[in-house]
């Protein structure tokens, strides 16, 4: 069975209030894609708490999806997440991501298992 994983990173590593933070979201497939695959990345920025439940249904219905394509023969795809500006400081914010096939409702990262990363939003 083909598996998927994802990695999330942000620059700067500790975003500054009212300044754009650039997220990099990479989706990896355990075997090359047999054809071009349409994907949708449901990315929760961590800007508000508590965010969506960790269920696929919650991500499918409450988080904006960013389209991405994994090219035929590729094992990675990048989700083009727009820059995020955080309005308030947070000692422990959590960004989360679930990946779906285009139009799908079952997460590819494992049932109800979004990827997550903890980070701090700081005042300059």
The answer to whether residue 71 scores a pLDDT higher than 90 is yes
Residue 15 is predicted with a pLDDT of 96
> Is it true that the peptide bond before 101 is cis, omega within 30 degrees of 0?
no
Q: What is the pLDDT of residues 8-39, one digit of tens each?
A: 999 999 999 999 999 999 999 999 999 999 99
| Count of structural domains, the chain | 1
- Check residue 50 and give its pLDDT: 65
- Mean predicted confidence (pLDDT) in 47-70: 81
Strand 20-29 to 4-11 pairing: antiparallel
Range of the domain at 20: 4-121
Whether the model clears a pTM of 0.75, i.e. scores above it, the answer is yes
For 67, what's the count of Cα atoms within 13 Å in the CB-facing half-sphere?
6
Report the CATH number that the domain containing residue 80 is assigned in CATH.
2.60.40.10
């Amino acid at each position: 069975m083909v598996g998927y994983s994802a990695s999330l990173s942000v620059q700067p590593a500790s975003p500054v209030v009212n300044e754009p933070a650039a997220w990099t979201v990479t989706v990896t497939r355990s075997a090359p894609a047999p054809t071009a695959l349409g994907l949708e990345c449901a990315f929760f920025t961590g800007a508000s708490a508590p965010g969506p439940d960790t269920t696929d249904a919650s991500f499918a219905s409450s988080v904006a999806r960013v389209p991405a394509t994994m090219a035929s023969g590729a094992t990675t795809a990048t989700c083009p997440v727009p820059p995020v500006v955080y309005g308030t400081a947070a000692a422990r914010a959590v960004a989360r991501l679930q990946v779906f096939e285009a139009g799908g409702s079952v997460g590819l990262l494992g049932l109800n298992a979004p990827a997550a990363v903890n980070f701090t939003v700081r005042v300059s």
